[in-house]
Amino acid sequence: MDRRLLYEGKSKSIYEGDNDSTYVMEFRNSATAGNGAKKAELEGKGELNASISAVIYDYLAKNGIETHLIKMIDATHALVKKTEIVPVEVIIRNTAAGSFSQKYGVSEGTPLKNTVVEFSLKSDELGDPMINETQITAIGLAGKEEIDEMVRQALTINGLLRALFDRSGIILVDFKLEFGRYEGRIILADEITPDSCRLWDKQTGKKLDKDRFRRDLGDVMGAYTEVFTRLTDEK
């Protein structure tokens, strides 16, 4: 790709786009966990994640959610709207797992009585610390109305994704979203993939997400392939 590289993240790269209002986002095979402490190259991950994210973003767009995705250029490159990323990750949880289970002593798999919404400061340097609404507005990372809009969209997306995955026999345990500012609006950016979600098989509880990499459970790409196959079989 002979485009100018603008930013290299842990598993994606951003290149200049076709004009001033677009970027090209590349999904790479790199996998990291523990804020970069564990690293690997997983053959085929870039292509699988690009495909899974595209299927999900198309589904969300059809259901009224504006996303940054314009179109896929090839198997690992997406043309996207150039947004100014809000430096706050929005995490939605339906079932206790991961850092929530650890932090609050709630066994993994415990259903939550209501949907949990969390925010993390997007900062590799600081290890993405949890941050609350008053802290976000106090530092000026986002305004109150922007936070409300991100939460509103995240909850709508949760409902849509739970239904989509449920039809594929998958439980959406939790996931992380990023939003960007675009022409005065807040729109969904980044990716939705098994890297950014916890996905469990409804029948067996088998983990079909990045926890297979984080926890050395093996067959990471087999699980990602399974997610893609089930999502596309459903359509």
The two beta strands, 77-81 and 69-72, are: antiparallel
* Contact set for ligand TMP, span 156-175 (CB under 6 A): 174-175
| Cα distance between residue 231 and residue 221, in whole Å | 15
- Out of 29, 99, 135, 156, point to the residue binding ligand TMP (CB under 6 A): 99
> Which of 13, 49, 67, 196 is in the footprint of ligand TMP by CB under 6 A?
196
Please work out the total of residues on this chain that contact ligand TMP, with binding judged by CB under 6 A. Answer: 12
Taking the complex as a whole, the smallest distance from the CB of residue 102 to ligand TMP amounts, in Å, to 8
Give burial (CB, 10 Å; 0-12/13-18/19+) of 99.
Answer: middle
**How buried is 222 (Cβ within 10 angstroms: 0-12 exposed, 13-18 middle, 19+ buried)?**
exposed
224 binds ligand TMP (CB under 6 A): no
Instruction: Confirm or reject binding of residue 176 to ligand TMP (CB under 6 A).
Output: yes
Which of 10, 4, 55, 8 lies closest to 193 in space, CA to CA? Answer: 55
Q: By CB under 6 A, tell whether 9 contacts ligand TMP.
A: no
Residue 115 touching ligand TMP (CB under 6 A): no
Dihedral of alpha carbons 20, 68, 193, 174, sign: positive
Scored b (16 or more CB within 10 A) or e, 46-57 reads bbbbbbbbbbbb
Binding mask 42-81 for ligand TMP (x = CB under 6 A): ----------------------------------------
Task: Rule CB under 6 A: say whether 198 interacts with ligand TMP.
Answer: yes
Give residues in contact with ligand TMP (CB under 6 A). Answer: 91, 97-100, 128, 174-176, 196-198
